[in-house]
Structure 1
Amino acid sequence: MTAESPDESEVAALRARVASLESQEKPRRHRVRSFFAVVLIVLAALLTPLAVVASWSRAQVTDTNRFVSTLAPLSSDPAVQGAVANRATNAIMEQLPVSDLLNEVAPPDRPALNAALGRIGPALTDGLTGFVHDQVLNVVQSDAFAGIWENILRNAHATFTKVLTGQGGGAVQVKGDTVTLDLAPVITQVKDRLVANGVGLAAKIPEVHTDFVLVQSDAVKKAQTGLRLLDVAGLWVPVLAVLCAVGGILLAVHHRRATVGAALGMAFAAVLLGIGLTVFRALYLDKLPADVDQAAAMAVYDTMVRYLRAAVRMLLALGIVIALAAWLTGSGRRAGWVRQLWQAGLGAVRRAAEGIGMRLGPVGRFVHRRKAWLGWGAVLVAAIVLLTWGYPTAVVVLWIAVVLLAVLAVLEFLDTPPEEPVAPSDGTGGGDGKAGPA
């Protein structure tokens, strides 16, 4: 055996040194990649609540139908109906004092009426107030009130953006720490009813503009600045959050683990937003003035944020679906067991169908060759449907997931591997049980 030359020994030592350096450099690069991947995923999670609120704000400002659908349910809320009736009654009674009714009485009868009025005036005022209140309540509890309320909201939306600038104007007014809605159309309807019921003096009531408080908080002025920023960022913050999540996943060493982490992290951040909405609700109601109807204020708040809460539930469902899908396609033992169970179950169904004469033929062989492409195509179509859906909810996400799962099940059912070639007969009558050629 020849001795190794000095040059060869040096080359071997150099190779060993290079291999050692490479083994040290690879974990270092992985640590750097993992660090930045975690930073991007955490940033995506932090941006998620802001993205939800920004999208909600932008939708309320730019989409009239969305604005109307947000506040339309208030027309059927008993607390809001009662608050509207009380506010409209007070406004009408300011224009319809009992003393003005004396002008409708003939002069000879006035002295006696004046003497009696000192004793029965309060009762007469209460009676007239009760009558007017009943007329207002009949309006706000009628089927027609929903249409009146919707018209108020549509007219208000034309000036709703002024809330963001603090200028007010039109049907929506911003006065200090209060955002109000003009009830003039409701009072007009009540005035017509009073005239029809014999209160002719109501015809002389001028056009009355009175306010129904939507929001009253010392945070309104602060929120105006925030809402202006959110309105501008309503389109780009969600995009930035998604890009951060995708960038973190692509940069991570283990893509599937990063996908699970990003999906669950963003879902958890959305849940924190939902908790924040509940906590802020209690703080908001606690700081309202004593003369504000708590039940009506509660109904207004819950109605205004209901689409925010729907977005929270949607993101929670979407995060769980994506995390579950990433986990099931991973290399874990439990995930592999679930996939094997899935394939075995659908394979048994396919074999049972073939046993009763069903033959997939070229369709099954085509699916076998292109199953991966077809599966990713179905995922892409599901993603496009979700992204182009106007305002997806948790139910929409779950239905899309169910339909996608059904499509993948059909692909697995149709997946028919090509038949193995039959071994040629040796002419002895064995193999396929047929006699060989003579």
Structure 2
Amino acid sequence: MSRTSSLRTAVSAVLIALSCLLVPFGTLAAWAAYDLTDTGRYVTAMAPLAADPAVRDAVADTVGDGVAREAGVEDGANRLFIRDAVRSFTATRAYRTAWDAGNEAAHTAVMRALHDDSTGRVTVDLAAVTTPLKRQLTADHVPFAERVPVTHTRVALASPAELTALRKGYHVLDVAGFWLPLAAVVFAVAGIAVAAVRRRAITATALGTALGGAFLGVAVAIGRHLTLTDLPDRAHRPAAAAVYDALTTTLRTASWLLLALGLTVAAATWLTTHPHSPTTRLLRRRPAAPTTPPPPPPEPTRVEA
């Protein structure tokens, strides 16, 4: 191998390694910047959780305890009755309406705070939840639905310190979500272009992409384990697991796509170009097409005297 070929191979290896290293981080940043921050996608992802049994139990426990505390109920039987009533309400269409409205209001409030320069707490107005809830109850002809009060009570979602940290992280992800995937593609194309043997460069890039997808899938699983382990209340871990799985659905799908795409491209490259692959050997063994022999030259014409 000449010195020029060795240099091209080394440069190609560095560029491809950088590309494969950026694949999982770029995918993670793009997911956080474009999937989690989109209110419509967030509400759509969270909507099925309204019917999840673990989430319904967690809502019944939290809301039921809150109602009992506000009403001054200390008796265990009465608390259980209130919890069962809330649990029954979570099976209604009005609850699903309130669930979607609450998620939309909370996400909108957080995103609005991330985009402006306010230093106060992030709050959400409960009227954004009670208004569609009252409308749904009225449409279902629930007695006294029109008397449901629509109060403009603001509930805190994040403190000023938490908002500052969230804003910094959001700005970093907003930049990284665009540039990291773009850099991964540019490095991959450049690494293949300068390679002395492009077949090997394509195979290495494909395998590295598959490895990045596998790494991303493992990272999502580890993050799920750590998130659930850090929860102080073990009873709410099934609900937290359902929320985590709903939010990371796109990320897990992307990891499987990267793994499948990388392995497919690597296998196709090997089958079509490797000298010892079954496809190459089959092409070599294929008999050549028969050629038609040229016609014989015409006989000379005899001229009689």
TM-score (norm 1): 0.55
The one-letter amino acid paired with 2:122 is G
Relative to structure 1, the CA distance from residue 138 to residue 269 in structure 2 (aligned partners, 3 Å threshold; closer, same or farther) is same
Tell me which residue corresponds to 2:265: 322
Q: Does 1:274 align with 2:217?
A: yes
CA shift, 1:271, in A, is: 0.9
Q: Distance in 1 between matches of 2:127 and 2:210?
A: 39
**Mapping of 1:130-149 within 5 angstroms?**
130-149=80-99
Q: Does 1:244 align with 2:194?
A: no
What do residues 337-366 of structure 1 show as CA deviations (whole Å, max 9, x unaligned)? 36639x97xxxxxxxxxxxxxxxxxxxxxx
The one of 122, 144, 161 equivalent to 1:169 is 122
Q: Distance in 1 between matches of 2:95 and 2:294?
A: 82
CA shift, 1:72, in A, is: 2.2
Moved more, 303-312 or 144-153: 144-153
Q: Distance in 1 between matches of 2:150 and 2:41?
A: 35
The one-letter amino acid paired with 1:237 is L
Identity %: 30
Moved more, 141-150 or 240-249: 141-150
Q: Distance in 1 between matches of 2:154 and 2:81?
A: 21
The one-letter amino acid paired with 1:151 is A
**Mapping of 1:326-337 within 5 angstroms?**
326-337=269-280
Q: Distance in 1 between matches of 2:127 and 2:279?
A: 62
Tell me which residue corresponds to 1:151: 101
The one-letter amino acid paired with 1:247 is A
Tell me which residue corresponds to 2:301: none
Tell me which residue corresponds to 1:34: 9
CA shift, 1:170, in A, is: 4.2
What do residues 268-303 of structure 1 show as CA deviations (whole Å, max 9, x unaligned)? 022112112212222222222247712212222222
Q: Distance in 1 between matches of 2:248 and 2:279?
A: 42
Relative to structure 1, the CA distance from residue 35 to residue 168 in structure 2 (aligned partners, 3 Å threshold; closer, same or farther) is farther
CA shift, 1:236, in A, is: 2.0
Counterpart secondary structure, 1:146: helix
Q: Does 1:256 align with 2:231?
A: no
Tell me which residue corresponds to 1:55: 30
Q: Distance in 1 between matches of 2:57 and 2:296?
A: 92
Relative to structure 1, the CA distance from residue 263 to residue 185 in structure 2 (aligned partners, 3 Å threshold; closer, same or farther) is farther
**Which consecutive residues of structure 1, in runs of 5 or more, have no partner in the other structure?**
1-25, 99-121, 173-180, 345-416, 428-438
Contact persistence 1:184–1:209 (CA under 8 A): no
> Higher relative CO (CA 8 A, sep ≥ 6), structure 1 or 2?
2
CA shift, 1:304, in A, is: 1.6
Relative to structure 1, the CA distance from residue 46 to residue 138 in structure 2 (aligned partners, 3 Å threshold; closer, same or farther) is same
What do residues 363-397 of structure 1 show as CA deviations (whole Å, max 9, x unaligned)? xxxxxxxxxxxxxxxxxxxxxxxxxxxxxxxxxxx
Relative to structure 1, the CA distance from residue 329 to residue 337 in structure 2 (aligned partners, 3 Å threshold; closer, same or farther) is closer
Relative to structure 1, the CA distance from residue 96 to residue 328 in structure 2 (aligned partners, 3 Å threshold; closer, same or farther) is same
Contact persistence 1:88–1:210 (CA under 8 A): no
Q: Does 1:84 align with 2:27?
A: no
The one-letter amino acid paired with 1:42 is A
Q: Distance in 2 between matches of 1:186 and 1:95?
A: 22
**Which consecutive residues of structure 2, in runs of 5 or more, have no partner in the other structure?**
299-305
The one of 289, 302, 305 equivalent to 2:245 is 302
Contact persistence 2:101–2:129 (CA under 8 A): no
Q: Distance in 2 between matches of 1:298 and 1:62?
A: 20
The one-letter amino acid paired with 2:102 is I
**Mapping of 1:9-20 within 5 angstroms?**
none
CA shift, 1:266, in A, is: 1.7
Contact persistence 1:183–1:210 (CA under 8 A): no
TM-score (norm 2): 0.76
CA shift, 1:78, in A, is: 0.9
The one-letter amino acid paired with 1:169 is V
What do residues 67-124 of structure 1 show as CA deviations (whole Å, max 9, x unaligned)? 22322222121111111122222333344346xxxxxxxxxxxxxxxxxxxxxxx54x
**Superposition CA RMSD, Å:** 4.3
Aligned residues: 291
Q: Distance in 1 between matches of 2:114 and 2:186?
A: 28
CA shift, 1:56, in A, is: 0.5
**Mapping of 1:34-433 within 5 angstroms?**
34-61=9-36, 63-97=38-72, 123=75, 126-127=77-78, 129-162=79-112, 169-171=122-124, 184-185=129-130, 225-290=168-233, 293-337=236-280, 340=283
Q: Distance in 1 between matches of 2:263 and 2:110?
A: 36
